[in-house]
Structure formats: C-alpha cells, structure tokens
Amino acid sequence: MSDISYDFTGRTALVTGSGSGIGRATALALGAVGANVAVADIAEAAGAETVELIRAAGGTAEFFRTDVADFASVEATIAAVVLRFGGLDIAHNNAGVEGEHVPLGEIRTDDWKRVIDIDLNAVYYCIKAEVAVMAPRGGGSIINTASASGLVAGYNLAAYTAAKHGVIGLTKSAAIDHARDGIRVNAICPGPIDTPFLQELPQVLKDRLLLGTPMSRLGQADEIAQGVLWLASSGSSYVTGTALSVDGGTVALSAGTNFTDLEV
C-alpha cells in the first residue's frame, strides 16, 4: 500500500468487476480510506469475498450483483446503491474481458460483440446511470478502466484494443459534456499487471512483456488502485478528460529500439 493518505469517510464508491484483480484492489483501497464501497460483479461468490475482506479490515461494503452489459441491471444497481448508502460520489467502471488472442481476420463475430458489449458499451451504460444520480447532488468522480491498449495496439487484440480506445474517447466526451455538472470523468490505463492470467503464462512470454516495459517488472493491482484513489480525490480536482497511464513506461517506449535481447 502507498504511504499517501486519503480520507473518503462518508463518501460512497461503486466499483464494477470488483470480485477480483484490479477491481478488488480498488474496492479494498477505497474501503481502507473510509468509503462505503458498493462491490458490483456478476460473480456472486467472488464479490461476496471482496465484501468480507473489506469488512474484516474494518470497512463498510455491500455486494450488488450486476451484469454491466445489461443497462437495466446497471440502472437497478445504481438505484440500489443510492437506496442503501444515500448517494453515489465515486464510480470506478472497471469490469472487462480480453477476448480471443487471434489476428483480426480470425476473430469470431460473437466474440467481437461480447468484448465490445462488456468493455465499451457497459462503460457507456455505467456512465449514463451514474451521471443521472451524481448531477443532482452537485457532482462526483468517475474513473473508467481503459488500458495501455487504449493508447497503442497490441498484437492479436483487435477487439480489446478497439474497445479500450473507445473507452478513452467516451471518457473525454463524458468529461466535457458533464463538467458543468461538477462531474469529473477520467480513464486509467494499466500496463502489464501481475494478475492470475499473467501468472499462468510461460516464462518466455513474461520475459517478452518485460522487454517492452522500461521498469522491467509487472505492475501490481494496488498500484492501479492508488491511481484510482488519486483520480477520485480532491488532489485531482482540476483533472478531467485525461487518460492516466500506470504502465511502467510501456506506452512511452518504442519497443523496436530495444535490442537488449539480441546478440549482434
């Protein structure tokens, strides 16, 4: 955990996809600094576990089963959060999937639609429902999880790359449309993060990921959570419409100039 201190006492935060990974790390971080945390996920057991972890640490949390690809489900969750906690101040729209790792011409159309529905359309659904309750209260902070793949392209990740580029565009549009409502909307762009998925990769693939990461290590989920905390805090009060890279320098690097793995 960071040694920077925040105090979100009395504020309510919604985190989608908070049953695991970055979402869980953010939910735990928000709970640790006093926020009422609405844990939203389609996976009930995983979401319930996140709630118990927050409560065990002395925080306040409630689970809300949510299918982010269904606008009615999103609306129902937002309404339930407001009923339970009295409002909504912070939203981290984080739920997402990667999809197939194949060249664009080989992507199945049903997988394309699934990735776009969960990674892009769902962010629109969430923002739409969130601003409807934040604006009458005078504002709030929305943070969307994009990706380094929202700023550059990854091989064999066309659907994910398109969706995450879309999240950044949607973030900018929402930021300017709702700035006068007192709502700040930003995106966070994780690079390679140490998740169960990456842990299962062969070592040679992990080494290749690190070759494109100037800091030469994988990021930790809590390092993304700390970026979310800052974007949700008053410390970023004049920041809106931005895409914050938390990626160990991945996007800044031109990987084609790195010859360190070659013998010449």
**Tell me: the pLDDT tens digits for 114-153?**
999 999 999 999 999 999 999 999 999 999 999 999 999 9
Contact present, 125 and 166 (Cβ < 8 Å): no
Check residue 263 and give its pLDDT: 67
Instruction: For residue 231, tell me if it sits in a domain.
Output: yes
Instruction: For residue 254, tell me if it sits in a domain.
Output: no
Instruction: For residue 259, tell me if it sits in a domain.
Output: no
Whole-angstrom Cα distance, residue 191 to residue 37? 25
Owning domain of residue 218: 12-248
pLDDT at 260 over 90: no
Q: For residue 261, give both structure tokens.
A: 């793995």
Check residue 256 and give its pLDDT: 64
pLDDT at 72 over 80: yes
pLDDT at 200 over 80: no
Instruction: For residue 262, tell me if it sits in a domain.
Output: no
Average pLDDT (87-113) is: 96
Check residue 257 and give its pLDDT: 64
Least confident of 87-101, 158-172, 210-224: 210-224
Instruction: For residue 223, tell me if it sits in a domain.
Output: yes
Whole-angstrom Cα distance, residue 4 to residue 27? 17
Average pLDDT (159-163) is: 97
Check residue 33 and give its pLDDT: 97
pLDDT at 1 over 60: no
Whole-angstrom Cα distance, residue 137 to residue 189? 28
Residues assigned a catalytic role: 160
pLDDT at 113 over 80: yes
Sign (positive/negative) of CA torsion 153, 96, 4, 209? negative
Q: Other C-beta atoms within 10 Å of 121: how many?
A: 19
pLDDT interval class at 2 (50, 70, 90): low
pLDDT interval class at 258 (50, 70, 90): low
Instruction: For residue 264, tell me if it sits in a domain.
Output: no
pLDDT interval class at 207 (50, 70, 90): confident
pLDDT at 259 over 70: no
CA distances from 73 to 12, 68, 114, 205, 206 (A): 19, 7, 17, 38, 37
Q: What are phi and psi of 86, to 5 degrees?
A: 90, 0
pLDDT interval class at 205 (50, 70, 90): confident
Whole-angstrom Cα distance, residue 130 to residue 93? 10
CA distances from 45 to 19, 36, 40, 67, 151 (A): 8, 20, 11, 14, 33
Q: Which of 149, 59, 63 is nearest to 99 (CA)?
A: 149
Count of structural domains, the chain: 1
CATH code, 213: 3.40.50.720
Instruction: For residue 195, tell me if it sits in a domain.
Output: yes
Whole-angstrom Cα distance, residue 163 to residue 240? 20
This prediction has a pTM of 0.94
CA 125 remoteness from chain centre: 15
Q: For residue 155, give both structure tokens.
A: 């091989």
Q: Pick the residue with more confidence: 11 or 208?
A: 11
Instruction: For residue 22, tell me if it sits in a domain.
Output: yes
pLDDT at 78 over 80: yes
Q: Pick the residue with more confidence: 262 or 119?
A: 119
